[in-house]
Structure 1
Amino acid sequence: MAGRIPSKTLSLKQFMTRQQVLKLYRDILKAIQRIPDDRNRNELKDWARSDFKQHKNQTDEHKIKALIFHGERSLKELNQSLDLSNN
């Protein structure tokens, strides 16, 4: 039952960034579930998945932080739009 350490172990900073990206991805998918129209919801879900996959192998720390910032801003705008449409 001895745990095997993967050949490419993440540093603490990389691990924390990875967790931040995964949380952002989950939050985006949760927000997309609030979209009432099936077609629009599926289009946005496909867009989110492809965008994350496109940058999956990004290693430049500054580029990753910029992508996270952009994603968080887009999520905030999506949530605001959904909140307005529900009122």
Structure 2
Amino acid sequence: MSEKMPQATMTLKQFMLRQQVLKLYRSFLRAIRDVPDEESRKELLEWARSDFKNNKHHTDEYAIKMLISHGERQLKQLQQNVAFSR
């Protein structure tokens, strides 16, 4: 019988950062859902997925916080652009 190796437990800070990242990702998906043009929606969805996937290897707390703040600025800009396009 093979047993799985237990995963390393996250610290509270790591857990909280992970929750912030997930919240930001969900916010991007909600904002992208409001984009009127279907082709643009697909491109934005692909961009968001690849951007989050390309940065998932980061473990440094400072780097993750900087990526989160950069993502929040991009999200705000996306939301403003979507609001103007209506």
Q: Same fold (TM over 0.5)?
A: yes
**1-structure distance, mates of 2:13, 2:24:** 17
Q: What SS is found at the alignment partner of 2:73? A: helix
Matched, 1:64 2:44: no
Post-superposition CA distance 1:31-86 (Å, at most 9, x none): 00101111110001000000000011210111111110010000001111111222
Aligned equivalent of 1:37: 37
Separation in 2, partners of 1:42, 1:7: 34
Aligned to 2:17: 17
State the alpha-carbon separation in 2 of the partners of residues 46 and 39 from structure 1.
Answer: 11
TM-score by length of 1: 0.89
RMSD: 0.9
Of structures 1 and 2, the one with the larger relative CO (CA 8 A, separation 6+) is 2
Give structure 1 stretches of 5+ with no counterpart: 1-5
Structure 1 stretches of at least 4 aligned residues deviating more than 6 Å after TM superposition: none
Q: Name structure 2 gaps, 5 residues minimum.
A: 1-5
Q: Distance in 1 between matches of 2:75 and 2:37?
A: 18
Q: What is aligned with 2:80? A: 80
- Identity among equivalent pairs (%): 59
